[in-house]
Structure formats: C-alpha cells, structure tokens
Amino acid sequence: MIVVMKPGATQQEIENVEKRLRELGFKTHTIRGEVKTVIGAIGDKRLVKEHNLSQLPGVEGIVPIMKPYKLVGRELKKQDTVVEVGDVQIGGKKLVVMAGPCAVESEEQIYEVARRVKEAGATVLRGGAYKPRTSPYSFQGMEEEGLKLLHQAARMTGLKVVTEVMDTRDVELVSRYADILQIGARNMQNFRLLKECGLSGKPVLLKRGLSATIEEWLMAAEYIADAGNQNIILCERGIRTFETATRNTMDINAIPVVKELSHLPIIADPSHGTGNWKWVDAVARAFVAAGADGLMIEVHPDPANAVSDGAQSLQPEKFARLMEALKPIAQAVGREL
Amino acid sequence: MIVVMKPGATQQEIENVEKRLRELGFKTHTIRGEVKTVIGAIGDKRLVKEHNLSQLPGVEGIVPIMKPYKLVGRELKKQDTVVEVGDVQIGGKKLVVMAGPCAVESEEQIYEVARRVKEAGATVLRGGAYKPRTSPYSFQGMEEEGLKLLHQAARMTGLKVVTEVMDTRDVELVSRYADILQIGARNMQNFRLLKECGLSGKPVLLKRGLSATIEEWLMAAEYIADAGNQNIILCERGIRTFETATRNTMDINAIPVVKELSHLPIIADPSHGTGNWKWVDAVARAFVAAGADGLMIEVHPDPANAVSDGAQSLQPEKFARLMEALKPIAQAVGREL
Amino acid sequence: MIVVMKPGATQQEIENVEKRLRELGFKTHTIRGEVKTVIGAIGDKRLVKEHNLSQLPGVEGIVPIMKPYKLVGRELKKQDTVVEVGDVQIGGKKLVVMAGPCAVESEEQIYEVARRVKEAGATVLRGGAYKPRTSPYSFQGMEEEGLKLLHQAARMTGLKVVTEVMDTRDVELVSRYADILQIGARNMQNFRLLKECGLSGKPVLLKRGLSATIEEWLMAAEYIADAGNQNIILCERGIRTFETATRNTMDINAIPVVKELSHLPIIADPSHGTGNWKWVDAVARAFVAAGADGLMIEVHPDPANAVSDGAQSLQPEKFARLMEALKPIAQAVGREL
Amino acid sequence: MIVVMKPGATQQEIENVEKRLRELGFKTHTIRGEVKTVIGAIGDKRLVKEHNLSQLPGVEGIVPIMKPYKLVGRELKKQDTVVEVGDVQIGGKKLVVMAGPCAVESEEQIYEVARRVKEAGATVLRGGAYKPRTSPYSFQGMEEEGLKLLHQAARMTGLKVVTEVMDTRDVELVSRYADILQIGARNMQNFRLLKECGLSGKPVLLKRGLSATIEEWLMAAEYIADAGNQNIILCERGIRTFETATRNTMDINAIPVVKELSHLPIIADPSHGTGNWKWVDAVARAFVAAGADGLMIEVHPDPANAVSDGAQSLQPEKFARLMEALKPIAQAVGREL
C-alpha cells in the first residue's frame, strides 16, 4: 500500500506514519517528491486488522496496491476452475446452459419446461421456489412444494437443478433438492447467506449485485471461498444504470475483465439483463462470443400467463432456435454447446 | 393502468386485450388515436395476481397509473407518522440525532461515546454488533457481547439503542437489546428480513439501498408495514453513482420527494453518505435545512484507531460543535434540536 | 399523451385540462377511475409547441405515448437505412470496420497504420486531427495538417476517412478532407454542431454520449435528419456507470434495442468502450454476434509511444488476428466481413 | 506518479520502466514488495507529454499522486476567489442569487420577471436566448432579439445578466449583452467553447456536466483558466443517476468537496437539479446550509404557459417567499443574502 502525505506534511507527521506502519508489520519506504511525500508500505494488507491510517495527521490518502481477494483471484491460482456438478462441467470446453421458468408454478408447467429445454440442449434446470419480489403483493413462490417439483422434473429428464436460496434458514432445506444454490443479485452482499452457502458444500451460483463493482463481486465470492467452498460460478445479470429502455444494462466488458482477474467460471443471464425476450437472442449470442462459460435463460411454455417475468421469458421453440444459433458462435470461439 | 397497443395492432388484438382485462376484474375504456390505440383499465392493480399483459399480441407496453405501495403512501394516509421509542419521538417537531461508533469495540469505547453524544444532545445511541463488511478478512463485530455493551451504555446514559440486524436468525436476539432494529443498505431488498423485522413489533430503521430508487425503497417499507408494523423510519445514506471523490452521493432531493410521497419520517446519514468526516458537517446542515426529521452520525473517541469506518467518524468534540451549528438551522425551518 | 390527474382533482380542474388540450388541437377522452382520473389526448405532440400541462391545477403528471422522434424511428420507415460512402456500404450485409490511431501523429505513423489496417480488411481509416482532451495540457491534435495526412494516407490505400469535428467553425474545413464526419460522445448534445453537420451533406457518425439514454441519442440523430441528412451511423462507445475496472461500460443491449426502434445502422467502438486493448477482442466479437453493422477500432503501430489512448490501441498484427477471428462470427449471424 | 509492476515482472522490465521514466525527466524510486514492485516517479506529470507507460512490458497500472489541475486547485492558491461582476461579488460573504425564466419569451415576460426577482433580492438576471433542447421540434430561443431584451430588462432594474452561449461563433455576440457567460451542462466538455469563453475576458459560469466527475469539472474549469481567465463560477445542477423520480440527482456532497479542492466559488441550481418547482425550496435551503456561494433559480410569471421548463419554475411570489426563508439559514452559516 502507498500512503500519500498532504502537501506541507511535517517531518514529524511523516515519521509518525512510518512508525505506525512498522508497528503494523509493514516495511516502509519513503519517497519525497517536490510537493508531496509518499510512503510505500510492504506487507499484506489483508492480514492486518484495518487501521484508519488515513486519519493520521498529515495523511491525504491511501492507495492499495494488492488486490483485496486472494482465493478467487488469478494472482495465486492461474488455471481456470472447472466446477463439477455430477457429469456437468462448468468452466470447461462445453458451455453450460441453465434454462427454465422464473418461478415454479405447477407440476405441468415445470415438467413441460424441463422436457423442452432438455431436448434443446440445456443441462441444468432453473426455477424459483422462493422469489424475491419488489412488492409484498406479488407471488412469493411455492416454497418447499416448488423445490420438490423442480427436483422431480430434473431427475426425470436428467437435468441438474439450480434454484435460489434467500434466507440462511433455508440453506439446509434447499440443499436437499438443489444441485447448485443460487444467490440472487439482491443478496450478493448478504454476507451471512454467503457464508452459509459456502459451508453447505454445494456449488454456488453467485449473481452480480445491481450496483456491485467487479471487485465487490469477487469479494463476495471470496466470502464463499473463505468458508471452504471454491465451487463458485459467477453470473453477470446486468447492472443498474441511467438507461431506462432496458431493465438492466448487461456489462459485456465484465467477461474479459473477470477472466483476467479470477479463475472462476462466469456465465450470463440475458433474460434479467435485458428484461425483454425480444432482446435475449442478440445478447445471448454476444456473451458466448465474448467468452462466457454459459448462459442462464428464462423459458416458459406460456409467457403471457406466467406468474412472474413473462415479458422476459422465451417460448420453448424460440429457445430451441436460439440454441441452434449459438452453436456456430461457440465453435468460432473454440467452445462447444 | 394504461395498455398501449402497437401501431398497426388489429381490431382482434385490441378486443383480446379488453377481454383479458375484464376477466381480471378491470373496467376498460379504449381510446383510438391516429397511430396507436390505448386501453385504460380501471381497478386496483395491486389486488390482482400479476398477469403478463405485455406479452399479449399487439401490446407495446403497460403504463401504471397508481402507486404500487399503499400502506406507506400519502394517497391513503395524509398525516405524518410519528414513531415513538419510549419518550423519543421521531418525525415530530424535535429532530432526532442518532450517534455513536460504526462498531462496538469495547466497554470503554462505547461508554465514552455514549456519554459524550448524550451530553451533546443525541437521544439514540448507534453502534454495530454485527457488521456487514465487504471483505471476509475485516472485523465482523462483537455480536451478542457487543449488543450487551451497547444496551448497558445506553441505559446508563438514558439513550435509546439502534443497531443493525443482518440475518433473520438474529432478529429475536437483537430485539432483546435494541430499541430500534436497523436494516442496512445491502439488505434493503432482503425481503425475508424485512418481514421478520416487521413481525418483531420493534420500530425499524430502513436504510436506502445503494442502487434503490425511491419507489423501491418505499416498496421495501411496504413489506414491513404489510407485516403489521408501521413504525418505520427511512434513512437516506447515499446512493451509488459514477462519482468517486466521495464514498456515495447523498440524494438531497430524496427529502422533499419522500415527504410528498410518504407519511413516514426520514432521517439522513451523512457519515456513510460522504465517507469522510471533513464533509459530514456541511451535509448534515444541508439535510436539516431540507426538512429531514433527524440525523445518524458516526462518532468515535479515537477515529485513527477505530476498527472500522474511522475515516468518516467525528471526534466527540467535533460532534458537539456540529450539534451547536445545527440549532439555528433547525429553528430556521421550524424545528428544534 | 395521457394526462394523469391527482387523487381528489375537482371536476372543474378536469374540465380545465380538457379545455386546454382541445385548444392545443387534441381530441380528448376522459377515463374516471376510482381514485384517479386520466385524460387521453389524441394528436401529435411533436407538432404542438410545448405547453406545461403538468403545471395546470390538479395535474399529477403526463405520460407520452408516441416516440418523440420520427425521421430516425421505425414507426414511419420500416426498412433499414444503408449509408453509402463511395463504394463502402454501412448497414448492408458486409460489416464495416473503421480502424486507425486515436490521433494522427506523423506521416509515417498514419501511412503505416493505413497500409496495415487495409491489408487486414478495414475499409475506413479513423484518426483524430482535433482531439477532445480532458486536460488542456494534453496533445490537442495536428489540426489541418493532420487532416491532410489522413486524407492522403486513405487515398493511397483506397480507404475512406472518418474524423471528428469538434467545432461548428471547422465543419467546412473538415468536410474537405473527410468522407464521414464524426461527432464525439462529449458533443452528442452540441445541438448547433449536429445541425451544422446535418447541413454539410456528408455522412455523419454519431457517437453516443457518456450519459445519454437511447432515446436522447436518437433525438440527437433526429437533429441531423431534421437538417435534411439521413446518412447517419450510430456508434455505441460505452456509457458511464459506477464500474471503475473499465473506462466505460459497453451497452450491448443497445444493439437489439436500437435495431428495433430505428432504421439507422449502428456500429460499436470497443476501444473506448473498454479502455484496454486486452479486452477489445472479446467485446468486438460480442458486438458482431449481437448484430452490430460494424466496428471502430483503435490501431497504432507502437502503442507504448502513442501520444494518446495507447492503452486501448491494438498493434497492427493483433488487429489482423482479430479480423480473422471475427469472420466466423459474422458468418454465424448472416453477415460477412 | 507510482508505476505498479505486475507480479512476476522481470528485473529487465523494471529497469526498462525506470529508464523510460528518467528519459521523461522523472526521478525514480523503486520499492520491491513480496509480490509486486512499485516505482515512484518524482516530477510534474502535467508538464510532460503523455506517454503510455501503462503499455510497457510488465506494467500493471499507473497511480497518479498529483491533482491534474493546478490553476483552479487549492494546492497552489489557498485563498477563495471572489469573482467581481460590477458591484456584484460572487464568492464573498453575501450570497449571489441569479433568477429568471428558462427562456426569454417576450418583452413583457422578461421585464416582469426582472422587476419581481430584483424586488425579492436577486442581483443577477438569468434567461436563455439560445436554448439547448433535446428535441429539434422544441422552441430554440429568441437569439439576438432575446439577448437585447434580457440586457435592457437587466439594465432598467439594476441587475447583471447571465446567459448561455452554445456555440463558439456566438461568443462575441453574447459577450456584448451578457455580464456573465454561461456554459451549459451539455457543453461542459466542449473544449473549444471553454477556450473561447476563456479568451473573451468575461466571467464564466460553468455548469457541471450530467455525468462529469468533480475532477473532470475542475479540469474543464482549468481550460478556461489556462486561456487566461480565472473569473470562473462553478454551478452544481444535478447529475444523472438511476433515480427517475427527479430530473437529476443534486450532488450536495459536491459543495464541501469542491470547497476543499478548489478556490473557485460554487453555486447551485435546484430548478434543474430537481425538475419540479415543489422541491426547489427544500433543495435551495440545503445548498445554502451546505456552504454554497449562491443559487440560480428559474422564475416565471406564468409557469403553466412557459415555453420551456415550466414544471420547474417558481412563480414570483413563491420565489420571494423562498428568499425570505433563506435568510436565517444564510445567517446560521455566517453568510448574508
């Protein structure tokens, strides 16, 4: 870390900072410029309790040099992580596609979707049993009954299950039915839930928060990893910006940036990222071309009657056509579908 | 609600939408423009299960006319809510000031702060026992031990206690020690926590999420109210924008907007909103002048050695001077401190 | 347009609004709901002088129904616009690639780049002679001398020229040397410059402003079209968000959205959109896959010595490899390169 | 500046960077950490031509230590700048209030407003003769005729004139009628216009761009100062964020931050910052309490018939009441009105 002193900081103030840094276990190295003095502090900032060095007299600011994450970063682990969920690999040559309805609504609905997305080439079934809804008056999910239906539909079709867990109290229950635990965007910094999912031993799909920087997202993943679980799949699902034409703004840049900073696999959710089924195809193609490890896509047999997110759900035949369209793009970037 | 049809929507598509609306219990009223047709639907959108009308053939979009919240809105309750916490009133003529350290660190620290902020005129003691930290390697709080210290310090000085609850499993425990439950910005859309706090019967301080619109914030409050608890205090603590000079951007506009839309009291947290103690005074004055019902301010006896957020904490004597400076401003807007 | 009245608006207030709307040439249609009354106003809002209907007593707000643009929108012109620049077509089956340095620096530099990007398959040469720089102390461009070099390098290699014009006073001069006038992101709402470029008769490349919504961007294009010039190429170059890992956030959603709303061709600039050459390839591939009509890419023979934007410039051999990588993706979406 | 080397950078790469820095006139100072090496470069980055050091092999990134502006910064000039416009001082003890309509519409309108705002205590008359409008179909201003009316109305009432100049070609003409040249938010990075206004010798009011950081805003001011003109008044008018309840988000934090970084006076425009006259009072009070040097407020005798921005304009009597309400707040922060 670099401590930048104010213009006019006194010799005593500088020495005081050096002393404090040494007390904290850093080696110091001071550079006196014409206007400002900076003090380089060598050591691992992650290992010391935070100290508010910026509050010491004469200090203008602190510039960190090391990344704040280690377990999920590339600095200490170069090779890509491949998350294995039974025979499904996430982060390998073959792209993963997770598809299904926003919410589990009924036995017929989830079986119909499971069958259709399996036929089209998906390997993981998505579907919410606990739904985070902006309004308390909206449908909140079928809860355990939904989990059971999801589990059965997946088993009958040979799919794996990913489903959201919203509450620390539900981690155990959801783990009984799910192959992958999903942490939603609104819970990305629900640190207790991150830990609990980390401790569950299940692979975790971690959606990016609506206003989370890539660094904060990786720090959230670090919570899970720090609990002993490195089977983490990142999922870009759009961030909040000033643009109102779309539900969110999909951050396509995040794919190459995350690939550089982290060894974890990353997939994309163009359904939430756009908020409109008409735009899902173009954005799904884009993410595959950019190097994403897979996609999560909402599919519903009858979007006009879906209890939630119908506007962004593809009909099964449209989903099947999209899967075909993605194949040559996957191939063009050295992947397969 | 208004359903806007696409240019070129057919007569049959229009009739189909009208039929569906009537099935959902709406009265319809169709206006044929030169290019587009719109269908007014009269009835309460909040009371019907959501239907994805935007998915019907020929529909371009839906424009809601009614606010999505009712319990926390002004449309049905005109007069201001005053939340009573023992003898402390929040939302009345007298402004409330909640002050204390970011985290409870030790008996000496919390007693010292409690004594000093009480002397300066605060009526509620803040302090975190469970800390939401971006990094798993940062101090996470003293937990129940911290709650006890906070409670004792408050009782000895005649202050009330506000403290954050991060997990549904902790609501009962925290409720034993706290007078007001705080829901943090990162948990503003942790819907299960909102409900659980709503059910606790305790007054709830609801911080605005980093990327929450005012409407989403009021919808989060609606969750608490819907659980039977209208003792809600809103707290503006800054939103996330592109500006990096400050930790967050304080949304001063939110004060008059929330006052117009909702009857709930609203306070401001300039410590988190700026991220730097040097800017807290100016912003605290601004929020009082704008009509906020109070402030939440971080105070620490030794900011340079605080285990968290030292950079934005005021020393007790600076806090006391700020309290003096706020008095004539409070008076200028018809309030007192 | 729909005028929404406040709950409790009086009969007289409603009639007053109806009267005013009729005076403005609208037909009105009033729908009385249980809580609010709304008044549909039929007619073309674009043709009436703005009137502050929202200021009339009893009015809560105005909801526009028609798009505010017409010349650049799909509502009145369904088929795609193809901009012809000599034998180069923009918006047709063949993708256009505009490549070259951020700034023209010397004869050797621009000739070298022109030759290399032409070999790799680009058809338009980019290069700045007038540079918008955040700092007055940065290099501001070679001005007319730069325009001449750019023009000669293009002519010798059979490329077309696109270059930025920053000032209404320069439109005539720049038009002498350029085949396409570029309006930069910071000038997207420099309305006088939009008009002047519209009047020049030259094709115009209109970059999206850093904080411009898609609607505002199309309205800026409408200014050019309204001046009699429909040869407009839109260019997505990233918007400003809270993310700091990248220079900007590329809005991939903008491709399908703009394609739906407008008939104009749209290309993408991943160099500015990411700010780092390492991420350009992935994002370039993504935009081609999403359906963009082309790319604008910064190429410099010696990025480490570029006078500006070296960090985001590709070396010529890397650019050539990218062009190869893009071919199968273009093919996969029915285009060619 | 600090150059941060990648983990694993070779000795030769490090020496190469040191060599390059010395060639550019810097003294270097290298600190070898356990994982990364950083190289401190002492010297003034502003005085060297930009070199893309980040492109050198082994370099991870560059961290600037000095502020990029100098003329407008506090580092070299400590005392506050007071801009004198005849007998009106901006930045002194007395707050300045600039008031008037969005656009000059007619002789009656501008005279009426001038008289009323003068009576209420304003000292500068605002009014647009050239209007930047999102739509080409909206009223674009009365141009020179508007300037004349504005000038006459101001002279007859003893007010100064501030009005926007949108085009470099108009600077001379506008300077004949205006006491202060206004550069609008959309032109904040119209660098040629900044220079031309700087050369005009007139005081310049520089509005903050919709998506401009405080640093970029100060750099825009630096352009004006670099052209020899330090009579600059900054104006916070709201930034673009995700919030849609208000037209913009007023950045109240900007007041103490700008006061710390720069010696220039700063005022606030709550009319544009909120977009709704109902919220102007609260936000105006807030900015005075935060330490702004004045306000710019839209006032129109008949907002419901204003040709632009009626929704955010105050009626003259409301403006007069606001001026009264501001007095005790100004006094509370040691200022007068």
> A2-63, what's its fold?
Alpha-Beta Plaits (3.30.70)
| pLDDT range class, residue A243, cuts 50, 70, 90 | very high
* Angle made by CA atoms B290, B295, B301, in degrees to the nearest 5: 140
Instruction: Choose among A68, A186, A310: nearest Cβ to B190.
Output: A186
Q: How far apart are CA B297 and CA B234, in angstroms?
A: 15
What's the mean pLDDT in A66-75? 90
**pLDDT at A51 (0 to 100):** 60
Percentage with pLDDT > 90 across chain A: 77
D177 at B interface, C-beta within 8 A: no
Q: Does residue D311 belong to the interface with chain A, where contact is any CB pair within 8 Å?
A: no
Give the mean pLDDT of A200-216: 97
Query: A154, C126, C138: which is closest to D49 by C-alpha?
Result: C138
Tell me the residue type at A40: G
Does the CB of D251 have a partner CB in chain B at under 8 Å? yes
Looking at chain D, the whole-number percentage of residues with pLDDT higher than 90 is: 77
| CB atoms B52 and A186 under 8 Å | no
- CA-based nearest residue to B270, from D234, D289, C277: D289
CB contact under 8 A, C34 and B40: no
d(CA A96, CA A87): 11
Closest Cα in chain A, distance from residue C326 (Å)? 8
- Are D245 and B257 a contacting pair at CB < 8 A? yes
Distance CA B282, CA B285 (A): 5
How would residue A44 be classed by pLDDT, with cut points 50, 70 and 90? low
DSSP string, D81-110: P-EEETTEEESSSBPEEEEE-SB---HHHH
CB contact under 8 A, B239 and D242: yes
C-alpha–C-alpha distance, residues C162 and C204, integer Å: 9
Q: Is the confidence at residue C333, as pLDDT, over 90?
A: yes
Per CB-CB distance under 8 Å, the chain B contacts of A304 are 51-53, 55-56
Distance, in Å, from the CA atom of B98 to the CA atom of B295, rounded to the nearest integer, reads 6
A neighbours by CB contacts (3+ pairs under 8 Å):
B, C, D
pLDDT band at A65 (very low <50, low <70, confident <90, very high): confident
Q: What sign does the CA torsion over C41, C45, C50, C54 have?
A: positive
Q: Calculate how close chain D gets to B20, using CA atoms only, in Å.
A: 30
> What confidence tier does C241 reach under pLDDT thresholds 50, 70, 90?
very high
B62-85 pLDDT tens trace: 888 888 899 999 988 999 999 999
Which of B23, B72, B190, B208 should be substituted to probe chain A, the one whose Cβ sees the most A Cβ atoms within 10 Å?
B190
- Measured in whole angstroms, how far is the alpha carbon of residue B29 from the centre of its chain? 38
Sort out which chain D residues have CB atoms less than 8 A from B245's CB and list them.
213-215, 253, 257
User: What is the pairing mode between strands A27-32 and A37-42?
Assistant: antiparallel
Query: Given CB atoms, is D260 within the 8 Å cutoff of chain B?
Result: yes
Chains C, D: CB pairs < 8 Å: 121
**CB pair distance less than 8 Å for D244 and A244:** yes
Q: Is B118 helix (H, G, I), strand (E, B) or coil?
A: helix
- Per-residue pLDDT averaged across A25-43, rounded? 86
Q: Does A286 touch chain C (CB under 8 A)?
A: yes
d(CA A113, CA A156): 12
Average per-residue pLDDT for chain A: 93
Contacts of B274 in chain D (CB under 8 A): 253, 256
Residue D44: per-residue pLDDT: 64
pLDDT of residue A63: 83
Q: How many residues does chain D have?
A: 337
Q: Is the pLDDT of residue C41 over 90?
A: no
Return the residue of C nearest to D194 by Cα: C136
pLDDT attached to residue A171: 97
**CA quadruple C95, C100, C104, C107: dihedral sign:** negative
Give the torsion sign (CA, D281, D287, D290, D294): negative
Q: Helix C191-200 and helix C214-226: axis angle, to 10°?
A: 50
Q: In this complex, which chains have at least 3 CB pairs below 8 Å with chain B?
A: A, C, D
Interchain CB contact of D324 with A (< 8 Å):
no
**Average per-residue pLDDT in chain D?**
93
The CA distances from residue D175 to D100, D172, D179, in Å, are 19, 5, 7
Question: Searching chain A, which residue's CA lies closest to the CA of residue D249?
Answer: A242
- Establish if A31 touches chain D: CB-CB under 8 angstroms: yes
Query: Closest partner residue to D2 among A2, A34, A241, by Cβ?
Result: A2
CA–CA separation, D80 and D69 (whole Å): 16
Q: What is the pLDDT, as a whole number, of residue A148?
A: 98
pLDDT on residue B146:
97
**Per-residue pLDDT reduced to its tens digit, A261-282:** 999 999 999 999 999 999 999 9
Phi then psi dihedrals of residue B186, to 5 deg = -70, -15
Q: Is the pLDDT of residue B46 over 80?
A: no
Contact residues, C window 289-308, toward A, CB-based 8 Å cutoff: 289-291
- Calculate the dihedral angle through the C-alpha atoms of C215, C220, C224, C226, rounding to the nearest 10 degrees: 60
Contact predicate B314/B126, CB 8 Å: no
- Contact residues, chain B, for D253 at CB < 8 Å: 238, 243, 245-246, 249-250, 273-274, 279, 283
Give partners of D (≥3 CB pairs < 8 A). A, B, C
Q: How close A255 gets to chain C, by Cα (Å)?
A: 8
CB contact under 8 A, D328 and B331: yes
Say if CB D248 and CB D270 are below 8 A apart: no
Q: Which of chain A's residues have a Cβ under 8 Å away from the Cβ of B226?
A: 136-137
Contact: D329, B274; criterion CB under 8 Å? no
pLDDT in tens, D284-322: 999 999 999 999 999 999 988 888 888 899 999 999 999
- Cβ A54–B310 below 8 Å, yes or no? yes
Query: For residue B306, which residues of chain A lie inside 8 Å, CB to CB?
Result: 52, 55
Residues of chain D with CATH 3.20.20.70: 83-332
The pLDDT of A243-247, averaged and rounded, is: 96
CB-CB under 8 Å, D249 with B249: yes
Min Cα distance D335 → chain C (Å) is: 34
pLDDT confidence tier of residue C256, bands split at 50, 70 and 90: very high
Interchain proximity C2–B38, CB inside 8 Å = yes
Nearest-neighbour CA in chain D from C152: distance (Å): 26
d(CA B246, CA B244): 5
**Percentage, residues of chain C above pLDDT 90:** 77
Q: Please measure the distance between the N-terminal and C-terminal CA atoms of chain D and give it in whole angstroms.
A: 44
Which pLDDT tens digit goes with each residue over C195-232?
A: 999 999 999 999 999 999 999 999 999 999 999 999 99
Q: Where in chain C is the domain with CATH 3.30.70.1140?
A: 2-63
Q: Do B52 and A311 touch (CB under 8 A)?
A: yes
Q: What is the pLDDT of residue C167?
A: 96
Q: B176-180, B254-258, C19-23, C294-298: lowest mean pLDDT where?
A: C19-23
pLDDT of residue D91: 98
Residues 6+ apart with CB under 8 A from D151: D161, D177, D178
CA angle (D238 as vertex; D232, D241 as ends), nearest 5: 140
Question: C35: burial class by Cβ within 10 Å (0-12, 13-18, 19+)?
Answer: middle
Q: Are D329 and B213 an interchain contact pair (Cβ–Cβ within 8 Å)?
A: no
From A17, which residue of chain B is nearest by alpha-carbon distance? B304
Question: Does position B38 have pLDDT exceeding 70, yes or no?
Answer: yes
**Is there a contact between A38 and D7 if contact means CB atoms under 8 Å apart?**
no
Angle at C40 between CA C36 and CA C43, to 5 degrees: 160
**Residues of A numbered 47-86 whose beta carbons fall under 8 angstroms of chain D's beta carbons: which are they?**
63, 65-66, 75
Distance CA A203, CA A192 (A): 17
What's the alpha-carbon Rg for chain A, to the nearest Å?
23
- Rounded average pLDDT over A192-210: 97
Question: Is CATH 3.40.1670.10 the right assignment for the domain spanning A83-332?
Answer: no
pLDDT band at residue A50 under the 50/70/90 scheme = low
Token couple for A300: 């519903």
Asked whether the predicted pLDDT for residue A48 surpasses 80, the reply is no
Residue recorded with tokens 């420099």: C190
D257 contacts B279? CB cut-off 8 A: yes
| Contact D168/C at CB under 8 A | yes
Residue contact B40–C43, C-beta within 8 A: no
CB C323 within 8 A of CB C117: no
Chain C residue with the nearest C-alpha to that of A240: C241
Chain B contact present for D250, CB below 8 A: yes
B106-115, B284-293, D41-50: range with lowest mean pLDDT? D41-50
φ, ψ of residue D126 in degrees (nearest 5)? -105, 160
Cβ of C253 within 8 Å of Cβ of A244? The answer is: no
Average pLDDT rounded to a whole number, residues B255-279: 97
Question: How does pLDDT run across D143-183, given as a tens digit for each residue?
Answer: 999 999 999 999 999 999 999 999 999 999 999 999 999 99
Predicted confidence band of residue D62 (pLDDT cuts 50, 70, 90): confident
Q: Does A245 touch chain B (CB under 8 A)?
A: no
The confidence score (pLDDT) of residue B97 equals 98
What pLDDT sits at residue D45?
Answer: 60
What is d(CA A31, CA B52) in angstroms, rounded to the nearest whole number?
Answer: 63
Task: Please name the member of D53, D190, D223 whose beta carbon is closest to the beta carbon of C186.
Answer: D190
Which residue of chain D comes nearest to A41, CA vs CA? Answer: D33
Span B168-188, mean pLDDT? Answer: 97
Yes or no, beta carbons of D240 and A240 under 8 Å apart = no
Judge whether A329 and C329 are in contact, CB under 8 Å.
yes
Min distance C165 CA to chain B CA atoms (Å): 27
> Are C207 and C217 contacting, i.e. CB atoms less than 8 angstroms apart?
no
